[in-house]
Amino acid sequence: AQKITQTQPGMFVQEKEAVTLDCTYDTSDQSYGLFWYKQPSSGEMIFLIYQGSYDEQNATEGRYSLNFQKARKSANLVISASQLGDSAMYFCAMRGSGYSTLTFGKGTMLLVSP
């Protein structure tokens, strides 16, 4: 079984500051993928970043980076230079080997203040 844990129900950050959203996972699979999604109040799920378990480099996509620590089974999302438009719910998700479906964490609500 796979499990994703997001321990921060809510996070507050000021504009232009960096913020880290925590995600830990549990799996017995050797090969797996980790995803982060942003869900604004409109409800759509926006793909942000992906990290494969065998990727040696941490994934980066613009202002988003994934701090992947395999031994600790953590995959934290780092948002640099927060913007007001970053205010949303953020979900960490995992896909195990041989699976095409995702297991989601409970999410973290991020609020960016001016």
Partner 1 sequence: SAVISQKPSRDICQRGTSLTIQCQVDSQVTMMFWYRQQPGQSLTLIATANQGSEATYESGFVIDKFPISRPNLTFSTLTVSNMSPEDSSIYLCSVHVRGTQYFGPGTRLLVL
Q: Please state the closest distance from residue 42 (CB atom) to partner 1, in A.
A: 7
Instruction: Candidates 33, 59, 88, 112: give the one binding partner 1 (CB under 8 A).
Output: 33
Cα angle for residues 106, 26, 59 (degrees, 5° grid)? 80
With CB under 8 A as the contact rule, which of the stretches 17-25, 42-50, 66-74, 80-88 interacts with partner 1? 42-50
The residues in 65-94 that bind partner 1, with binding defined as CB under 8 A, are 91, 93
Q: How far is CA 7 from CA 25, 29, 44, 74, in A?
A: 11, 22, 22, 12
Q: Please state the closest distance from residue 72 (CB atom) to partner 1, in A.
A: 22
Does position 38 interact with partner 1 (CB under 8 A)? The reply is: no
Instruction: Candidates 50, 63, 67, 87: give the one binding partner 1 (CB under 8 A).
Output: 50
Task: Name the pairing type of β-strands 88-96 and 108-113.
Answer: antiparallel
Closest CA to 3 of 18, 25, 32, 28: 25
